Chains A and B, each alone.
Chain A
Amino acid sequence: MRAWIEIVGSEIRLAGEWTISGMADLERKLAELPFSGETSVVAQDIEAMDTAGAWLLHRAVQGHTLEITGLKPGHAALVKMVAALDMAEIAKPQSRGILEKLGVAGWRMLSQSGGMLSFIGEATLALMHAIANPGRIRWKPIWRNLQHAGFDALLIAGLLSFLMGIVIAYQGAEQLTRYGANIFVVDLVGLSMLRELGPLLTAIIVAGRSGSAFTAQIGTMKVTEEVDAMRTIGISPMDQLVLPKIVALLIALPLLTVYADIMGVLGGMIMASFNLDVSYTDFIDRFGSSIRLSAFLVGVGKAPVFAAIIAVVGCFQGFQVTGGADSVGRQTTKSVVQSIFLVIVADAIFSVIFSLVQL
């Protein structure tokens, strides 16, 4: 049953169920009512009322000198109680002006970079400390992280670079056949996979898989005060949470890269034999003579740097979590975007350096 209002002469009759579910269109009707000195409000037909209904009634007659008659004692008490509540209007916190927002964002970015720098310093110190005291290295979390970040990523990293190898060979095929230079598909696939795509693709996959997991894990542990509990027991979160992740990724990412290289070249090789009539033996012969070892080493050499970037960013963003679930989500997003961005920037810097030293 709904709430309704009737106007009979100078009498306003209120009736029905003045509850949150019954008063949908009441608000507008009440605002339109012609309250004046002579109107009387009769409320004897109100059958049910909750605080929302009581407030609506109180709000409507507020400021008018009206008497409400016929209100049931329980309902009258409710209206009285609602009216008596301390509803002192608190000014909403002012939203910031554009200049202030800009300043705050800039300051936050600066202090974040500072925090990141000091985090890198702390992590390096902890790493040196661990190398100096190898007995204190925590192997168990390292193994666990190796499994999650390394072994479990084999399938997806292998599959993606295999497909990438196929795509490169396929795209190159048309151009190469036009010049009768079919055999150069080996150079195309080999160099691009080994030097650039293998390491980059693997790093991006790992950043998405493991960097986000690092942030979410540490962030959630921070929300549930597990990180603080660790500190009170005398275990440094740096040693227990951060170092194993960095060490594990430093080991896992180069290995994954080698694996991705193999799978990528394999993909290219299969495509080459299908589309370009380059047999497997020709492919492997050409590969041995035209791709220098340096191409492979340049690619794999980048992997530890990418690993350090992903692990440090992932852990740092985890420690930046404050508050609750919302913040965990925000920092995880930030972690993935930042680590992929930094990986690509680092890759660009490597390219410049390598071209300067002519590798």
Chain B
Amino acid sequence: MSEAILEIADLCTSFGNTVIHDHISLEIMRGEVFAIAGSSGCGKSTLLREIMLLQKPVSGSIRVFGREVLGLDDMEALDFRKGCGMMFERGALFSSLNVLENVALPLHEHTALSQDLIGEIASIKIALAGLPSSAKFKYPDELSGGMRKRAALARALALDPALLFLDEPTAGLDPLSASGFDELVLHLKRSLDLTMVIVTHDLDLLWHVADRVAFLGDGQVLGVGTMMELSKSSHPLIREYFYGPRGRAAREQAWKQK
């Protein structure tokens, strides 16, 4: 539990004159569910994109599985990406493929397994993500928002990654589906020994699922710790976030359950 799987050190990002990250450092341990919170536009999703090498930071270092990932060449980057799964905010399912084909695509691409076995493994992921078998042959535009998220999660799980990134997994879901997703994340963590990095606004998800939370704001990490620790923080931005009307309700509910 004490081994760091992802270390971010001194990361700086800016778009033009806007500084997004100003010397950010974070450490994420193996097997934990790590959430990144913060108000809109504070660079949460950008951070994920930088870790997945979709975007280049100005300076700093990102080490995943003990290896520096910034500056990897194409082959090494491919190798690194195979060990990670990413679920995008809007799903980013391929619209020309049905759910089963979407999940099977990384398997077809990167393994030499037989057609049948790939179909079965993809079906496992779809079942793991909590989708009914009847959804397998549906196309993305025939799915509801919640099902689309689950299908996206199934695709992110396709190659059994050790590290899973979720960008706003519960955004746009009704409360029931959202809490279903919370359960799903916990179940996956328990059964697959996954390390998960979740970018989210969802206070319920933060309270119930995250082991540790980093709070970004003003281009810096304003606080890292469990939700209990963060909620005791004296930083005005954090207090505002957690002690606003919605924050209070979520906190009270979380305390009642504990």
Contact = CB atoms under 8 A, between A and B. Distances in A.
Closest 5 CB pairs of A and B: A324-B95, A326-B96, A50-B160, A323-B141, A85-B127
Contact of B120 (A50, A59, A92, A323): A59
Interface stretch (B56-64, B107-115, B246-254): B107-115
B18 interface: no
Contact of A93 (B107, B124, B137, B141): B137
Contacts of A323: 95, 139-141
Interface in B121-166: 121, 123-125, 127-128, 133-134, 136-137, 139-141, 157, 159-160
B197 to A, nearest CB: 19
A157 B134 CA distance: 53
Contacts of B159: 20-21
Interface in A69-103: 74, 77-78, 81-82, 85-90, 92-93
B193 A74 contact: yes
Contacts of A51: 121, 124-125, 128, 157, 160, 192
A50 B192 contact: yes
A56 interface: yes
B96 A85 contact: no
A56 B82 contact: no
B117 interface: yes
Given A27-B113, A51-B192, A324-B140, 20 more contacts: A20-B111, A21-B111, A24-B112, A27-B114, A50-B192, A51-B121, A51-B125, A51-B157, A52-B160, A55-B120, A55-B121, A59-B120, A78-B192, A85-B128, A86-B133, A90-B133, A322-B141, A323-B95, A324-B141, A325-B96
Contacts of A93: 137
Contact of B133 (A19, A21, A88, A324): A88
A325 B95 contact: yes
Contacts of A78: 191-192
A164 B89 CA distance: 51
A327 interface: yes
Nearest to A92: B137
Interface in A277-333: 322-327
Interface string B209-235: 000000000000000000000000000
A59 B134 CA distance: 22
Interface string A114-153: 0000000000000000000000000000000000000000
B120 to A, nearest CB: 6
A87 B193 CA distance: 22
A87 B137 contact: no
A256 B121 CA distance: 58
Contacts of B193: 74
Contact of A90 (B125, B134, B139): B134
Contact of A327 (B95, B124, B134, B192): B95
A55 B141 CA distance: 30
A74 B140 CA distance: 34
B120 A24 contact: no
Nearest to A93: B137
Nearest to A56: B117
B124 A55 contact: yes
A90 B159 CA distance: 23
Given A87-B133, A90-B137, A326-B95, A77 B191 contact: yes
B208 to A, nearest CB: 22
18 contacts: A20-B107, A20-B121, A20-B159, A20-B160, A21-B159, A27-B117, A50-B160, A51-B121, A51-B124, A51-B125, A59-B120, A82-B124, A86-B127, A87-B120, A89-B133, A90-B136, A325-B95, A326-B95
Contacts of A24: 111-113
A77 B123 CA distance: 19
A85 B122 CA distance: 12
Interface in A20-35: 20-21, 23-25, 27
A85 B124 CA distance: 7
Question: Which of A24, A89, A324, A327 has the most chain B CB atoms closer than 10 A to its own CB?
Answer: A324
A132 to B, nearest CB: 39
Nearest to A81: B191
Contacts of A20: 107, 111, 121, 159-160
Contacts of A27: 113-114, 117
A21 B82 contact: yes
A327 to B, nearest CB: 7
A27 B107 CA distance: 14
B127 A52 contact: no
Nearest to A330: B96
A320 to B, nearest CB: 14
Contacts of B136: 90
B105 to A, nearest CB: 14
Contacts of A325: 95-96
Contacts of A77: 191
